[in-house]
Amino acid sequence: MSRDASKAVPADARGLAASLAPLVIEACDNKLSDITWFKADWQRGGAATAKAVFTLPDGSDHPVVIKLPVVLRELLWTKRLQNANSPVSPVPRLFASGETLGGYDLAWIVIEQFSHGPLGLHWNDSHILRISEAAARFYARASAFVVDQAPNREDWNELLKGSQESLKINQINHSQRWKKALKVFRNRLDDIVSEWRARDTSQWLHGDLHLANAMSRTGMDDGPVHLIDLAEVHAGNWIEDAVYLERQLWAKPERLKPHPPVKTLARERKKLGLPVEEHYSRLATIRRALLASTAPKFIRSEGHPTYLEKCLERLESSLQELK
């Protein structure tokens, strides 16, 4: 019978991982060596990661990354989307994994260590195109699995209320413009949300599509991209991933011009025979408005003045487009 690992191991993720390293080695039939734990600047969440070497039965050694603990969803999708060692696979190659370790309920994975990335370490105009190609490959392979869950259902009324409350207690640039835009949006919110919720949600999304989750085997500025961190995979519509990727660069609009994320991802989906709504641009505008309206609420994480100003501009322009 498995046990709860949280009650028997250190709370610190790296301390937990280091204490369990011998069990990981044993679970991998002693194929792991040279384990070095690290914390990456772009890493989020409580999982610990380590670089190591994995030896295959033919004697060949492969640089790998150990990640533990991981949520079961990340383990599930990493396994589901394997495509041998294809140079155009959407996700990392999986060398070993498990749902338990030493009798504890603790999922873990050993995946390939990429030579290049994440792409967020420096900018190149090819980044959005290559991430879009990878996302389209992800959708194509994920479409083989039945969508057996409901999409995320955000409470936009509460989120908008939070933004309006934030404007009252925080000093936010262009507060009068914000108040006016949010008031207009509030008056139209029910119709806009109804239109959004009528979208097709019978698709699997990556859920965390951004530059820090994009890696490459061949180069920072060229070659196929592979998507890591599958803990947020969920049902929804591809527009959500596309606008989420776009949103990361609202404060740097010049980076969006060579390959606008929504149009680029729509084109890459079409190349693979995946459906693209005729009105996808309107759905994207709705999503931009919804996300931009929440920025004041999340001022602690999204409070940079330049970013907040760009969110305000997005909200205002979206309201004009949606008339």
User: Global pTM?
Assistant: 0.92
| Cα–Cα dist 221/128, whole Å | 11
Question: What are 147's two structure tokens?
Answer: 């969508």
Task: Give pLDDT, residue 47.
Answer: 77
For 9-47, the pLDDT digits (tens) are 344 566 777 788 999 999 999 999 999 998 765 555 567
| Cα–Cα dist 118/43, whole Å | 10
| Cα–Cα dist 133/272, whole Å | 10
Specify which residues 65 forms β-bridges with: 51, 111
Task: Give pLDDT, residue 84.
Answer: 61
User: What fold characterizes domain 3-112?
Assistant: Phosphorylase Kinase; domain 1 (3.30.200)
Task: Give pLDDT, residue 11.
Answer: 46
Task: Reply yes or no: is the peptide bond before residue 253 cis, omega within 30 of 0.
Answer: no
For 47-76, the pLDDT digits (tens) are 789 999 999 999 999 999 999 999 999 999
CB 106 within 8 A of CB 5: yes
CA neighbor of 212 nearest in space, from 138, 131, 136, 268 = 131
Residues of the chain with pLDDT under 70: 1-14, 40-46, 84-85
CB 109 within 8 A of CB 75: yes
CB 281 within 8 A of CB 147: no
CB 93 within 8 A of CB 113: no
Q: Which burial class, exposed, middle or buried, applies to 135 when counting CB atoms under 10 A from its CB (0-12, 13-18, 19+)?
A: buried
Decide which of 3.30.300.160, 3.90.1200.10, 3.30.1360.10, 3.40.50.300 is the CATH code for 119-321. 3.90.1200.10
Helix 238-247 vs helix 280-293: angle between axes, to the nearest 10 degrees? 50
Please state, as a whole number, how many other Cβ atoms lie within 10 Å of the Cβ of residue 253: 11
| Cα–Cα dist 37/216, whole Å | 21
| Cα–Cα dist 66/35, whole Å | 8
Name the region of 210 (left: φ>0; alpha: ψ -120 to 50; beta: rest).
beta
- Domain range list for the chain: 3-112, 119-321
Helix 238-247 vs helix 261-271: angle between axes, to the nearest 10 degrees? 140
Specify which residues 104 forms β-bridges with: 3, 101
Task: Give pLDDT, residue 17.
Answer: 73
Strands 104-112 and 3-4: parallel
Task: Give pLDDT, residue 46.
Answer: 64
